[in-house]
Amino acid sequence: MNLTYKILIGMGVGIVVGSFFQLSGMDSSHWLYSVLVDQVFFIGGKIFIALLQLMVVPLVFASIVCGAANLSDGNSIGRLGGKTIGLYLLTTCAAVSMALVLAIAIDPGAGAEASTSEAFEPPEGREIRDVIVGMVPTNPVSAMAAGNMLQIIVFALLIGFVVARSGEPGARVRAFFEDFNQILMNLITLLIQAAPVGVFCLMSNVFAEIGFDKILDLLQYFMTVVLGLGIHLAVTYGLLIYLLVRVSPLAFFRRIREPMLVAFTTSSSAVTMPVTLRTVREKLGVHNDVASFSIPLGATINMDGTAIMQGVATVFIAGFYGIDLSASAYLTVILTATLASIGTAAVPSAGIIMLTMVLAQVGLPVEGIALILGVDRLLDMMRTAVNICGDAFVSSAVARSEGKLDMEVFEGRREVNAA
Ligand code: ASP
């Protein structure tokens, strides 16, 4: 049986087992719950996440150094970077605009019976200029220790660029990073074998804890976000995949099931990044020059699903408090949600924290976030899967336009070696 099916089964069984614990009303005071959910599933899930996460920093660094070193001329780096970042921003803008239209039409906030049991402490406001300044590392070692992706990307790009211009020493360093990159790819291939069990543990744990009653309370909000995510996935990506990657959207989605499932279960684009990278190279046929740069960057800055939630949440909170938003406020939401998605760390629930920035920009009460916290866990899982899909799409579209999409690999007629 292939791995994707095993992961799907792990996920399905995990959801059933977790829901059983939830519906049976057991909690940590019951011995079965405390042994299985609090210990076994918790440990299994955390170890699975850690195994993927331990690769992220070395992989981002090694793969971007290789990618930038191979694109030796500044023009190709500029063109590739421009197309990649341009598409990331455009799709995010489209996502949040569609989410706003949908939310305005449905108006989920009017008459919502929200449970405000969850307390929300607004974090320190982060200004957009700080996000921009914060992209350049002052100390790359501390950027790596802290896992600051944007800083690592900037540092790796600079090193890769200079490696290409350093003659003999550059060639030696490049050969080292290429080998190292290959070894990390082999490591992913090994670790991903643990995914069915890891995914099972994560799902059992999450579904044992998620309260379905909260979803019922906020059903309109919940369904509006789900609808927005569905439209973006099926219509926006479907159309763009057809037009720009020039392949069947269904075939495309089938090939990226693995990272989408991992994203859904881990709720983190960053943790999923190694799996996404492996998939776009080995199943979609994106050449390493493009994949090595666009996937780590996408995992960090491209979050269409997050932007959709932020658009709907803004309209929901405005509706709940009976505040009318002007046309210029909506424009501000589009702009800030797009920028916020760049500044959002690719970790669980980060989108909620960045929502504070969007709400503050249009003068809505930040405490309103408490209203939607109860249902965010499940939405986070879904939007992270959409975020990952966006990364894979942009990477393939850019590769296609550069003549770097290997259709033989896409069609499964040739296997690509991880290197
Ligand atoms: N969990 C999301 C991600 O990692 C970010 C968010 O929307 O909270 O892509």
Q: What is the rounded distance in angstroms from the CA atom of residue 286 to the CA atom of residue 323? A: 47
Three-state DSSP string of 22-72: HHCCCCCCCHHHHHHHHHHHHHHHHHHHHHHHHHHHHHHHHHHHHHHHHCC
- What does pLDDT average to over the chain? 89
Residue 263: pLDDT band with limits 50, 70, 90? very high
Give, for 211, the enclosing helix (H) or strand (E): none
Eight-class DSSP state of 212: H
207: buried, middle or exposed (CB in 10 Å: 19+, 13-18, 0-12)? buried
> What percent of the chain is predicted at pLDDT more than 90?
63
Q: Cβ of 182: how many Cβ atoms within 10 Å?
A: 15
Indicate the SS3 state at residue 90. helix
Judge if the beta carbon of residue 53 lies within 6 A of ligand 1. Answer: no
How many A from CA of 30 to the centre of ligand 1?
32
Residue 419: pLDDT band with limits 50, 70, 90? very low
Single pTM value for the model:
0.89
For residue range 364-406, list pLDDT tens digits in order.
Answer: 988 889 889 888 989 999 999 999 999 999 999 999 999 999 9
Q: What are phi and psi of 205, to 5 degrees?
A: -65, -50
Q: What is the rounded distance in angstroms from the CA atom of residue 6 to the CA atom of residue 258? A: 10
Task: Give the residue, out of 52, 229, 387, 391, with the most ligand 1 atoms within 8 A of its beta carbon, to mutate for a pocket test.
Answer: 387
Q: What is the rounded distance in angstroms from the CA atom of residue 164 to the CA atom of residue 272? A: 29
Residue of 5, 56, 55, 46 lying closest to 198 (CA atoms): 46
Judge if the beta carbon of residue 282 lies within 6 A of ligand 1. Answer: no
For residue range 45-102, list pLDDT tens digits in order.
Answer: 999 999 999 999 999 999 999 988 887 677 778 888 899 999 999 999 999 999 999 9
Task: Give the residue, out of 49, 96, 264, 268, with the most ligand 1 atoms within 8 A of its beta carbon, to mutate for a pocket test.
Answer: 268
Indicate which atom in ligand 1 lies nearest the CA of residue 348.
1
Q: What are phi and psi of 405, to 5 degrees?
A: -110, 115
Judge if the beta carbon of residue 349 lies within 6 A of ligand 1. Answer: yes
Question: How far does the chain reach from its first CA to its final CA, in angstroms?
Answer: 26
Q: What is the rounded distance in angstroms from the CA atom of residue 381 to the CA atom of residue 229? A: 11
Which residue's CA is minimally distant from atom 1 of ligand 1?
Answer: 348
